[in-house]
Structures are given as C-alpha cells and as structure tokens.
Amino acid sequence: MAKIKAEPFAFPVRHDQLALIVIDMQRDFAEPGGFGASLGNDVSRITRIVPDVKRLIQGFRNAGLPVIHTMECHKPDLSDLPPAKRDRGSPILRIGDEGPMGRILISGEPGTAILPELAPAEGEVIIEKPGKGAFYNTELSEVLQQRGIKQLVFAGVTTEVCVQTTMREANDRGYQCLLAEEATESYFPEFKAATIAMIRAQGAIVGWTAHVDDILESITNA
C-alpha cells in the first residue's frame, strides 16, 4: 500500500479513491469588503495560502484526480439562512446585505465567487453549502459515492470552522481525511495550530495532516 508522509503516522493512500476538496476559497473570506472582513478579521492571512492551494489543485489535475470546490453561500431569498446564523454577533455587514462586492455570501454575487487564481476548471464539482459543513443540505455524499471516492485531502478556509467541520462530518461518514497544512488558514494562527493538533491527536481521531510537498510527491508518482 502506498503511503503519504503524514502525522500522526503515514497516510495509507489509495490513489484510485482519492479526491481533493477545496473549502470556501471565496472572495468573501479573502478580500476587504467581504464577510470575513465585516467580522473584523485580517483577511490578508487568507490570501497568503493561495500559492500552496493552487499548486495542490494543479497537482491533482495533472494526476487526473478529482478536485471538488465548496462555497459557503445562501439563496437570494435567504430561505436557507436560519435567523440564528444571520443575526449572530455584530458584523458591519450581515449575510444577505449589500456590500462592495454585492450581497454578502449570496449565490451568484461577485463576492461569493471563488478567488480567480483558484477558479474551478471545466467539469470540476462545485458544492454550494448553506452551513459550515459541506455535507449538510448538499449533494456532496452522492457526488463522492458516485465517483467511488473514499479518501479526501482537505485545503481551504477557515481551518477551525468550515474545514474542520467538514473533516469531522466526513470522518463520521467513513472517509479517511488528510489536511494539507500549508493550504489551509485561519484568521487566528492559534486556532489553526490547535485544529491541526486536535485532528491528528489520539491516533488520528479525526484524520491526518501532511505537508503539501509530501502530498504532491505521492500523487505525482502514482
């Protein structure tokens, strides 16, 4: 069995069952005027990982392996946005409000789009998700089952919110999950570090973590 160098121990990879899932690399989380900034966050932390996410995506494409993209967003009529989510906290702009990049986190708006450098290629699956986890109220389970995918490499933002939630959902559904350390980021460095530690603690209780170079070496030599 092929292995990817990982923590807390090598990841037993099956290249024929492997996909990359890129979580929420959207303008609304990475650019001034978006949702992340409206919550008071330093969004420049997010754009810094773009080159690592990009080379991971390119590596999967070059190896002919699936790349799945997710976007956190809601229907224009807000019917999939619980008031408990919309009304939480005191952001400058709430989900659905008109901002400099269009309505915040609404499907089809310019700010909701994936960053142009990481734009999905023709034929790649894009999952629009109303929750933090990508399995909740989406077609992700069916997409993975139809393609025989049983192992997921994770990239994207934010590490402790949508990435971790989706990893936990996937782990509970029987998927083996590997987080690409340089290709994920949080607005809070301490939350990223804590998430990496808790994912791989207790014998990979949620999953594995690995460096982008080690993942790329494995899929390049597949």
Residues known to be catalytic? 24, 129, 162
Q: In angstroms, what is the minimal distance from the CB of 24 to ligand C5J?
A: 4
Q: In angstroms, what is the minimal distance from the CB of 43 to ligand C5J?
A: 11
Length of the chain: 222
Stretch 157-176: interaction string toward ligand C5J, x if CB under 6 A: xx--xx--------------
> Taking contact as CB under 6 A, which single stretch among the options 56-64, 85-93, 147-155, 156-164 is the one that binds ligand C5J?
156-164
Conformation bin of residue 171: beta by default, left when phi > 0, alpha when psi is -120 to 50: alpha
Among residues 24, 128, 169, 185, the one that binds ligand C5J under rule CB under 6 A = 24
Per rule CB under 6 A, is residue 118 in the interface with ligand C5J?
Answer: no
- Decide whether 11 or 29 has the Cβ nearer to ligand C5J: 29
**Could you give the CA distance from residue 87 to residue 76 in angstroms, rounded to a whole number?**
17
**Could you give the CA distance from residue 173 to residue 171 in angstroms, rounded to a whole number?**
5
Q: In angstroms, what is the minimal distance from the CB of 26 to ligand C5J?
A: 8
First to last CA, the chain: 11
Scanning the structure block, which residue is given the tokens 């014998």? Answer: 203
- Decide whether 164 or 209 has the Cβ nearer to ligand C5J: 164
Show contacts with ligand C5J in window 50-79 (CB under 6 A). 72
Pairing of strands 102-103, 98-99: antiparallel
Closest CA to 60 of 115, 117, 22, 5: 22
- Decide whether 35 or 208 has the Cβ nearer to ligand C5J: 35
Check residue 17 and report its DSSP letter.
Answer: G
Q: In angstroms, what is the minimal distance from the CB of 63 to ligand C5J?
A: 26
| Residues in Cβ contact with 77 at an 8 Å cutoff, skipping those fewer than 6 apart | none
**Could you give the CA distance from residue 195 to residue 40 in angstroms, rounded to a whole number?**
21
> Taking contact as CB under 6 A, which single stretch among the options 45-53, 145-153, 154-162, 170-178 is the one that binds ligand C5J?
154-162
Q: In angstroms, what is the minimal distance from the CB of 164 to ligand C5J?
A: 9
**Could you give the CA distance from residue 178 to residue 94 in angstroms, rounded to a whole number?**
32
Q: What is the contact surface with ligand C5J in residues (CB under 6 A)?
A: 24, 29, 72, 157-158, 161-162
